[in-house]
Structure 1
Amino acid sequence: MTRGRGKRLSPDFKARVALEGAKGHKTASEIAQEFQVHPTQISQWKRQLVDNGPELFESTAALARRTPSAEDVAAPLYEEFGRLKVVLDFLKKCMVRPCDASAFCCDGHRIALMYPASLWGRPRRPGP
């Protein structure tokens, strides 16, 4: 037997129930009976209200400073994508003309040290 998704309750309803619980005039059981929800759910909504309450009163400028823009998130990803593409192209070139196990490859190019040798199947060279 599969379980149903349950009731879909509006954010307005959840806020009213959470406020009623935060007031403390009634017990969770009384509120649950009045609004026909489980007392545990009331506790969860009340906790969310208390935790996220300060965000309601923040200015839009403060919110804008706190949340990064899509460009700020994407820029480092594109940089890493470009670096990995360069390394991949370099390694494809090396696969056409295999090299020895040294750190130099194909026409004396130096392999970038920021990528471990295990990425291209080379054993780690013993230290000095």
Structure 2
Amino acid sequence: MRLYLHDILYDYSNSTSNSTSAAATKPTALSAAVSNPGFFFGRMVVFNDPVTEGRALPPSLEETVVRAQGLYLYDGKVVFDAWFAFTVVFNSTAHHGTLNLMGADPNTEMRDISVVGGTAV
């Protein structure tokens, strides 16, 4: 199964209506001291992202039947790496249930994140 998360981080320059994630912490003094600009070591982001089978954004970001809900932390001091913990929620006539995922998200084109649980109906 290949899924695409469409994470649109609110950064004050984009619309709140199409944003699907928001920073829950401000950059720390350590982040400013040791991180490259824009890496924000220690920052936590909370998200509720639409998930699709293809790379294209869905027509409606809010009415997507598959969602990824959770958080990620920037854990790289000098490289752009993150750590994720989230649930993919399936709510359609074809699929209903959840997948719980967690793990490192290195800055690579393809990412594999471990499935650690879930439910099925």
TM-score, normalised via structure 1 length: 0.18
Richer in strand (by share): 2
Richer in helix (by share): 1
Larger radius of gyration: 1
TM-score, normalised via structure 2 length: 0.18
